[in-house]
Amino acid sequence: MKTATGTVQASALHMAFHDFKEITKARLAVSVVFSAVAGYFLGAREFDPLALMLLVFGGYAMVGASNAFNQVIERHLDAKMQRTRNRPIPSGRMRVSTALAIAIAMTLCGVVLLYMLNPSTALFGAISIFLYTCVYTPLKTMTPLAVFAGAFPGAIPFMLGWVAATGEFGIEPGTLFMIQFFWQFPHFWALGWMLDEDYARGGFKMLPTGKKDTGTAVLIIMYTIWMILVSILPAFGITGRLTLSVPAAGLVFLMGLVMLWFALRLYEKRDRQSARSLMLSSVTYISLMQIVYVADSLLP
């Protein structure tokens, strides 16, 4: 039979775990780690469980650190927005010093774990934290170019997996980087369109033209097309060891066309629901595309 003290302790532990997931943005971190794992399977010549485990935990630590630093810096702005006001710091459930300690500890842990894979992986991981925290985060309240700056750390995970598996950077991880780089723009601009009013309360400038207008919709379409073209590039045999069969490339191309259809629908309707549909289709696209890439590489 549980005592009252035991119940309180269990509840406190549950809340602490919940806040840890919130401060590190666990769902986002897991999706980023998924990209890194996909890149690892594409680059690895043979499966190494220890290396994969180091990548998973090291990758989560690096992403979690970036998110924690971000929430420390933006705590006053988060308090102004509907979707972020209940985060651990603005809600008062977590002290700034605690969040900062988590961010620093996870940075150190992430660098060490990724360095155990190879120095290049640790370097790219550290660059990702720096760009996200010191470039992207402060620019968000200054200029829509913040999304361009944020696309660099956002595109690193897919290529990071390849570098973790090989210790080398070349045309293969560069191609993986470019795929996820171009994907960032329709994804985040759709999100920015959805949350434009809330972002305005926090002073964030996320849309390329500053408005939910035709110009923003056209740019979303353009970047979606570039993403599709880069995604099928490995099928032409010009990306080194990174290859893609014709059937797999056809499937990736069709998935890209679905995302493009949602982008065109946003151009036509220019409403929040269309932006939400595009955002969800972009999340589906990036995950399925990576699964197709990995499955195609494993097939004889």
Tens digit of pLDDT for each residue in 98-143?
A: 999 999 999 999 999 999 999 999 999 999 999 999 999 999 999 9
- Write out the DSSP string of 16-77: HHHHHHHHTTHHHHHHHHHHHHHHHHHH-SS--HHHHHHHHHHHHHHHHHHHHHHHHHTHHH
4 has a pLDDT exceeding 70: no
pLDDT of residue 1: 47
208 has a pLDDT exceeding 60: yes
3 has a pLDDT exceeding 80: no
- Report, as an integer, the average pLDDT of 54-65: 96
Query: How far apart are alpha carbons 149 and 208 in whole angstroms?
Result: 12
Other Cβ atoms within 10 Å of 41 Cβ, number: 18
> pTM, whole model, 2 decimals?
0.91
pLDDT of residue 8: 59
Rg (CA), the chain: 20
Task: Report residue 167: phi and psi, to 5°.
Answer: 75, 10
pLDDT of residue 300: 74
* 202: confidence class by pLDDT, cuts 50, 70, 90: confident
* Contact criterion met (CB below 8 Å) for 179 and 38: no
Q: Kindly state the DSSP code that residue 277 receives in the 8-state scheme.
A: H
Burial of 218: CB neighbours in 10 Å, binned 0-12, 13-18, 19+: middle
The 10s digit of each residue's pLDDT in 246-288 is: 999 999 999 999 999 999 999 999 999 999 999 999 999 999 9
pLDDT of residue 223: 97
pLDDT of residue 90: 93
pLDDT of residue 5: 62
Q: Terminus-to-terminus CA distance in the chain, angstroms? A: 57
pLDDT of residue 13: 79
pLDDT of residue 7: 65
* Contact criterion met (CB below 8 Å) for 234 and 175: yes
